[in-house]
Structure 1
Amino acid sequence: MSWYLTPADLSDLAWGASLLGAGGGGDPYLGKSLVAGALAAATATGRVQVLDPDELDDDSLVVTTGMMGAPTALVEKLPSGNEASLALRALERHLGRPVTATMPSECGGINSMVPLLAAAQLGLPVVDADGMGRAFPELQMTTFGVRGLPGSPVAVADERGSVAVVDTGSDNRHLENLVRGLAVRMGGVASTASYAMSGADVRRTAVPRTLSTATRLGRAVREANENHVDPFTMLGETLCRTVYQQGRVVFSGKVVDVDRRTSGGFVRGSAGISAVGTTSACELVFQNENLVARVDGRTVAIVPDIVTVLHAESGEPITTERLAFGQRVRVFVISAPVQLCTPEALKVFGPRVFGIDEDYRPVVPVP
């Protein structure tokens, strides 16, 4: 059933979405601040309606909104806050009909927030679902695309008010290339409105109820800290009651090395974490999101399972652009929703798509 998201929920959602974002999806604090301002300024009630996918009419028009580009760009180039609304309205004009609701394309600190920002500004509801159940770095890497939906047409907007519409038909990979180029020219990051679909398509293709799940996860961490309970235990217990099935700590230590560079609209690199008092080490490889975790040379988790880095005591998620030498962390692994683990899905966002010469092995066997 539908529910209403209020400013009191934003911190929990930001933490939970950043946790599920596998180190990507943008800065959770920036997203939270933008939405809080929009709720205060643009809605009479100070809240946004969140619709369950089952409540959508079959012929509803749902459009995903989000940001794409290198998350590091947002550290230096703050958005105006209006980009997603501009992109959505431009796509409406192109399609010739009004949008019923917006929806995240992915989970992530800022990309779970952008649809809420657009919804507050435009008076729209948000659908409690997304197309990844985590964050991926490329536009075609969605369960929507795996199930045959085109990402085109896409409207792209920047903080200066520039807007472009790109249509590559059913070729989602070529769409990614063109829109990525626009995002680079727009300063490394831009907002998009894409994957226009019906309510029936949402139910057929999306990972359901990820906004409410992220909010529950963030709340579990917050309440664990308030009650002086281990947040990692609470996360594991909460995840067991979701589509993610299970999560657990696979390594603890101190960040001793970060090799990070921004190129082609992505943040790429690796990080090294050493266990305190032993010679054991963990290596992370990322492209916007963490892709693989190796402990002492052995792969312990690999995409599409979710590899995330959390503060060793509080459980606060640390995104790839904010990893830094000396941080005390725990590497936490979450099993991917079943929609991400089919043979068809692995052809779109499995390890080999990212140049990793390994087969996917689930951290938790899919039943």
Structure 2
Amino acid sequence: MAYELGPQDLEPLLLGGAFFGSGGGGTVESARHLAAHFRKGDYYPRETVNVVTVEEASGPDALGDAVMVAYLGAPEAINSATYPTGPVLAVQSVQERLAAQGRKLAYIAPPESGALGFSVACLVAAKLGLAVIDADGAGRAVPSLPMLTYAAREIDPRPAYLVSQGGLNVELNVTPRHSHTSGGTSHQRDVSAIVEQMIRPIVGDPEFNQFGGLAMWVMTPAELGGAMPIRGTLTRALTLGRALGAGRVRNVPQMIAWLAEHGGLSARAISEPGELVSAKVDTSGGFDVGKIGIKAGQHTYTVVYQNESLIAWDSRRPQPIVLAPDSVAYFVEGDGQSIFTNGDLVMEDGSLNPVVGKRKVTLIGWEAEAPLTVPDGLILESFLELLEPLGYLGPYVPVGKLQSSPLRGELS
């Protein structure tokens, strides 16, 4: 059922989105910076945005096509943005292309679950008078385009635009082998990877300053249902953010209970409560790549991330405690903000965020949405390929099995 969001809703939306982003999806800081300027005036002609379901955007009363829009790049760099200029310009380019074909753009599709992904989708929609779809391409945040359901569904990537905050507009044209069709299945599985390889050097150019606005994967109403099987994720994030703000989720047991009751997720604490003790980060090619260490008694937990958290280890166990595409989030106890992304925990100089201090931090993990774990599928294979250079060469093992199965060689 459609509903309306206003400026007061962006704070809970971005906090809930940050939790579901598996350590990534843009920082709370960057999303909050953009949200602070969402008010009717010279830039925004309105300060409300309509949210619609996939069924409404793909049914007989659909108003037009949809396009995915996002900021792509290093979270620390995106923190400087005041308005979503690059994404807005990218979507306007799509509008112009569709208009020339006698088509109309009506909907914005968020790329992923995350503070920035949801915030940017809403802000671009408000700026351009479009609606936001209550769904996304992963149910978590992801480091690369082939990990999204839009890619797995083989939606034609043309037209696709990458635009800097300064207005430099780059059209990415990956033409299928047979220009009059969308190409063969095996070829289309490679298209999103090729686009990804094109984008990363571009955002690394000084003109882009490590980030840009991306509009890609235009979907007709007939294509939308198959391309967005993971639904209700924006509402899920908004509802969690409101529960956090109202003080109904103040500790790990309450969070796990909320996720089961309202999110349909079987989450669990995969670490003991501990203190942040170390961080290492390097920003290049549009990625923040690093490690975060948490010390809890005899355990040292290490989260390895590439913008998003991909693998976590316990020093007293011989195998990982969570593997992507499964999600892992930080929950910080005590007064103040309880949800942080990797980019929020690590400062620009590589030091730990002093706001967290000695407060206890717990890692919470849950299994990925089913479309992300299809055996031999594009999404799962893309995650496993990314885990290889991080030192993991094994198969995908769900977090529940990692936690519940007895392990040979486990230290006592």
Pair in the same fold by TM > 0.5: yes
Relative to structure 1, the CA distance from residue 234 to residue 152 in structure 2 (aligned partners, 3 Å threshold; closer, same or farther) is: farther
> Structure 2 length normalisation: TM-score?
0.81
Any gaps of 5 or more consecutive residues in structure 1? none
Q: Distance in 2 between matches of 1:80 and 1:13?
A: 17
Which residue pairs with 1:26 in the alignment?
26
What is the SS of the residue equivalent to 1:110? helix
Structure 2 matches for 1:71-90, cutoff 5 A?
71-75=75-79, 77-90=80-93
Q: Distance in 2 between matches of 1:27 and 1:13?
A: 13
Contact 2:325 2:380 (8 Å CA) reproduced: no
Contact 1:29 1:109 (8 Å CA) reproduced: no
CA deviations on 1:261-294 (whole Å, 9 max, x unpaired) are: 012221111121101xx22111111001000111
Tell me how many residue pairs correspond in the alignment: 359
Q: Distance in 1 between matches of 2:251 and 2:298?
A: 26
Which residue pairs with 1:131 in the alignment?
137
Contact 1:340 1:346 (8 Å CA) reproduced: yes
What is the SS of the residue equivalent to 2:9? helix
Residue 262 (1) aligns with residue 266 (2): no
Structure 2 matches for 1:1-367, cutoff 5 A?
1-41=1-41, 46-58=47-59, 60-75=64-79, 77-95=80-98, 96=100, 97-169=103-175, 170=188, 171-185=191-205, 186-206=208-228, 207-224=230-247, 230-241=250-261, 245-251=265-271, 252-275=273-296, 278-296=297-315, 297=317, 298-313=319-334, 316-324=338-346, 325=352, 326=357, 328=359, 329-343=361-375, 344-355=377-388, 356-364=392-400
Q: CA deviation at 1:32?
A: 3.5
Which structure shows the higher strand fraction? Answer: 1
Any gaps of 5 or more consecutive residues in structure 2? 176-187, 347-351, 402-412
Contact 1:79 1:159 (8 Å CA) reproduced: no
Q: Distance in 1 between matches of 2:39 and 2:231?
A: 24
Amino acid at match of 1:256: V
Percent identical residues: 27
After TM superposition, the structure 1 stretch with the greater mean CA deviation from structure 2, 356-365 or 157-166, is 356-365
Q: Distance in 1 between matches of 2:33 and 2:85?
A: 13
What is the SS of the residue equivalent to 1:91? helix
Q: Distance in 2 between matches of 1:109 and 1:3?
A: 19
Q: Distance in 1 between matches of 2:382 and 2:333?
A: 29
Q: CA deviation at 1:202?
A: 2.2
CA deviations on 1:197-217 (whole Å, 9 max, x unpaired) are: 122322212111110011111
Q: CA deviation at 1:100?
A: 1.1
Task: Return the index of the structure with the highest Cα Rg.
Answer: 2
What is the SS of the residue equivalent to 1:291? strand
Task: Provide the aligned C-alpha RMSD in A.
Answer: 2.2
Which residue pairs with 2:181 in the alignment?
none
Amino acid at match of 1:93: E
After TM superposition, the structure 1 stretch with the greater mean CA deviation from structure 2, 304-313 or 54-63, is 54-63
Contact 1:152 1:175 (8 Å CA) reproduced: no
Q: Distance in 2 between matches of 1:36 and 1:57?
A: 32
After TM superposition, the structure 1 stretch with the greater mean CA deviation from structure 2, 181-190 or 321-330, is 321-330
Q: Distance in 2 between matches of 1:208 and 1:89?
A: 26
Q: CA deviation at 1:242?
A: 5.4
Q: Distance in 2 between matches of 1:318 and 1:240?
A: 21
Q: Distance in 2 between matches of 1:21 and 1:143?
A: 16
> Structure 1 length normalisation: TM-score?
0.90
What is the SS of the residue equivalent to 1:72? helix
Q: Distance in 1 between matches of 2:2 and 2:67?
A: 18
Q: Distance in 1 between matches of 2:382 and 2:242?
A: 29
CA deviations on 1:199-252 (whole Å, 9 max, x unpaired) are: 23222121111100111111222223xx6x634233222322456522222222
